[in-house]
Structure 1
Amino acid sequence: MKHPHPAAMLAQAPHRAAFLPGMLFAILLLAAWSAELASRLLGVHAALAVPSSLAHGFLMLFGFFPLFMTGFLFTAGPRWLGVEPPSRLIFVGVPALMVTGLLLWLAGLWLGIAWTLTGHALYTLGFSGLTLTFACLLLASPQPDRRHACAVLAALLCGVLALLAGTYWLIFQDGQAWLWMRNLALWGFLLPVFLTVCHRMLPFFSANALPQYQPWRPGWLLAAMLTGSLGHGLLDGFSLPSWPLDAALAILFAYVSWRWRLAAALRVRLLGMLHLAFAWLPIGFGLYALNGWLASPRLALAALHAVTVGFFLTMMIAFVSRVTLGHSGQPLQAGPGLWRLYLAAHWLALTRVATEMLPGVWSGWLYGAAAMGWLLTLAAWGRAFMPSYWRRRADGKPG
């Protein structure tokens, strides 16, 4: 049997076209950041068009998460909404624009701000294409319950606003605009998308895997989680105390994790990966609440990385692994190798959070070690899953 060209296979399904560049960019950006940290430790400083810490903040938010979201939303979104999936031109073209934009964004760090601005414009165009396409799917849907899709669309619109704030930041080098970009991206876009998908999918997956499991996902819970995320971002953006809200969110997320039966889910490794990632949220918001009392910049960074590295990255690994296994015709099981990689990701997240609790002389080296550990972990994860995107399904089915 003649095997199709790998490029042709990438255009066979939305997850293929978006997940592969998502994995490649995750590895590339971690490699670049590891090199930057190493240069700092060695006292070597490269002259970049954008300060490295600010570029790092933008690229960690937009560099690969939206690519994975594109693949997931173009795959699962039509099923949620009972509509036809987007055309091949769209599900290939949207990630292609985002990838081109990111490459130019990165090149501009060394070649000049004009390159970065051009890349930013192309990336924004691709992201807006994702938002517009999802809005069209939502409008065409006959489903009576579209609350999850509506929440995702609202979050995507916040992502567009974040990119516009990023444009202002890049043009005028305005630090306040960078802060608004970060808050809109983190608390208005990324966390709401993750929470919405968790609210819809974790009880569903759990009911399919655990005996006598009663799915629990009330509408008020979704509203409370999304309101809490947006509320935290607004309070932080206006430099107002957020610790009462953060404490309430920490308690809420801890209760949800217990109610969704974290302990029982760990008996099924692939399901347990999702639940264990969610368990970082009460830790992250608990640290934010504690920081409201202690007012420590390093504790605030620990809380931030508990959410971004602890929750986002481990949940990304869990979801992308599950979608890839299912849509490549492989058994929905986390083998020993994947499970070890996943646990290593949690140890690295814990190390990154702990670096903010240690004296500066130690934290710099541990920070670099955690970044290098993430690079190796994501490289091993990519090596295991990337071939699935340019090969036929193992079960011979299309897709």
Structure 2
Amino acid sequence: MTRPNRNSYDGPALFSYGFRPFFLAASLFAIAAILIWMLALEGELELGGPFSPSDWHSHEMLFGYASAVIAGFLFTAIPNWTGRMPKQGRPLVLLLVLWIAGRLACAGLFGLGAVPVMLLDSGFLAAIVAMVIVEIIAGRNWRNLMVVVPVLLLFVANLGFHLEALAFGGADIGRRLGLAVVIFLVTLIGGRIIPSFTRNWLVKRSPAHLPVPASRFDAVCLVVGAAALLAWAFHPHDGPVGGLLLAAAALHFIRLSRWQGARTGASPLLLILHVAYGFVPLGLAATAAASVDLLPVAAGVHLLGIGAIGGMTISVMMRASLGHTGHALVAGPVLTAAAAMVFLAALIRVLAPDMSFSGVSGLWIAALLWAAGFSVFALRIGPYLARTRRKPT
């Protein structure tokens, strides 16, 4: 397949490739959104818009932050899949403006009603779905057309979130369904890239034991995981659903163990991908325990939301940003520390949210660790995204 010619673009570097604006915007929004949420939680800040503060927090992390990362990933991967030119310039600018408008509308800054906010916010994911379908069909890359399905489901979940909040004043099902879809994307994409990157790295160093190639077992993991998460979205306090979640946790733990993550210690950039995926079975197991009242619901939700989604997205953004701006695929101590802070935020949020450390609550420490991790990412990688014009690798 002929690789697209990217050298004809002469506009701002930030809009020369899909990952640049959306990874930078996502990292900055991750910082702002968690601090806004904490201030709203303590009554120091009043949020407008159609959502309650807790619904706004869930919605913006799933359909704001995560959607931006997904868009950046797709518009970087699809040109490699199809051989077509990447989206550049004006289309990326318009998409970013649409995403920002959705964030402002959901925060109530436009003073719009619930229905206009829903239409404006949903427009971003609708545009992503349409553009991905067009690119994959135009490139006749039928094998990757299935990636549209979970993105379309995310769009549907977002609409459902808005409609549920409008009808009932809260979006409990919507937030669980949104989390379920994003976690499924983590398992789908993680299952492609983690063993592949690990295999490529190990082959050059110690090829004796390599990640097990994808097989029907991986398909079983995805199907059982999807079924468990979908059932949980609608029946979160159900014994059989808890059993299904526990089975999914065991399967994904075995899946991760087949990828030789223990042998990647010399490459933190690889290791953090394995650690991030490890939060999937951990979060599923905790959610299973919560379904029968053995753990708080928040435990599983935040292991999945902060550890799996936050950890996987920051890890993927690091690797893609370094590789596609021509930099060495080396995390170094700074970026390794950024990922470690996100992982630590997940653990503190789950294990010690109510404890006080020198007068600061565990909840605030978790929030500050999250914000610090993404701040380090933005300060370190941001200049690469905004200014570097090196040829992508």
Match of 2:198 in 1: 206
AA partner of residue 69 (structure 2)? F
Match of 1:383 among 354, 379, 383: 379
Q: CA deviation at 1:335?
A: 0.7
2:32 aligned to which of 12, 23, 28: 28
- Preserved CA contact (<8 Å) 1:273 1:342: yes
- Matched residue type, 1:183: R
Q: Flag the structure with higher helix content.
A: 1
Q: Kindly indicate whether residue 264 of structure 2 is the aligned counterpart of residue 272 of structure 1.
A: no
The letter for the 2-side match of 1:202 is I
Give the counterpart letter for 1:166 in structure 2: F
1:3 equivalent in structure 2 = none
- Change in Cα spacing, 1:81 to 1:335, as seen in structure 2 (3 Å) is same
Larger CA deviation: 198-207 vs 360-369: 360-369
**Aligned-partner residue type, residue 188 of structure 2:** T
Mapped partners of 1:245, 1:123: distance in 2? 33
Matched-pair contact (CA < 8 Å) for 1:25–1:64: yes
Q: How does 1:180-219 map to 2 (within 5 A)?
A: 180-187=173-180, 189-210=181-202, 211-212=206-207, 213-219=210-216
Q: 1:85 to 1:381 in 2, by over 3 A?
A: closer
- The one-letter code of the counterpart of 2:391 is K
List alignment gaps of at least 5 residues for structure 2. 1-9
Change (3 A) 1:267 1:222: farther
Report if the CA contact (8 A) 2:221-2:252 is conserved: no
When the two structures are aligned, how many residues end up with a matched partner?
Answer: 376
Cα distance in 1 for partners of 2:125, 2:132 equals 11
1:1-399 equivalences under 5 Å are: 8-37=12-41, 39-40=42-43, 46=46, 48-49=48-49, 50-86=51-87, 88-108=89-109, 112=111, 114=113, 117-143=115-141, 146=143, 149-175=144-170, 178-187=171-180, 189-210=181-202, 211-212=206-207, 213-239=210-236, 240-241=238-239, 242-293=241-292, 295-296=293-294, 299-355=296-352, 365-393=361-389, 396-397=390-391
Cα 1:139–1:7 shift into 2, 3 Å? closer
Q: Is the 8 A contact 2:18 2:75 kept in 1?
A: yes
CA distance in structure 2 between the aligned counterparts of 1:268 and 1:164, rounded to whole angstroms: 40
Q: Distance in 2 between matches of 1:218 and 1:179?
A: 35
**Cα drift, residue 29 of structure 1:** 0.5
Structure 2 distance, partners of 1:120, 1:61, is 15
* Distance (whole Å) between structure 2 residues aligned to residue 185 and residue 292 of structure 1: 18
Instruction: State the one-letter code of the partner of 1:397.
Output: K
| Bigger shift: residues 86-95 or 126-135 | 86-95
SS in 2 for 1:216: coil
Structure-1-length-normalised TM-score:
0.85
Structure-2 separation of matches of 1:362 and 1:51: 31
- 2: CA distance, partners of 1:222 / 1:103: 39
Partners of 2:233 and 2:392 lie apart in 1 by 47
What is the Cα-based RMSD across aligned positions, in Å?
Answer: 2.8
- Please give the TM-score of this superposition, normalised by the length of structure 2: 0.87
Task: State how far apart, in whole Å, the 1-side matches of 2:200 and 2:120 are.
Answer: 41
> Is the contact between residue 280 and residue 307 of structure 1 (CA under 8 Å) also seen in structure 2?
yes
Aligned-partner Cα distance in 1 for 2:213–2:93: 35
Q: What's the CA shift string for 1:215-240, capped at 9, x where partnerless? A: 52224413532442243222440454
Show CA shifts across 1:150-182 (max 9, x none).
44211111111112213323433443xx12322
Q: Sequence identity of aligned pairs in percent?
A: 24
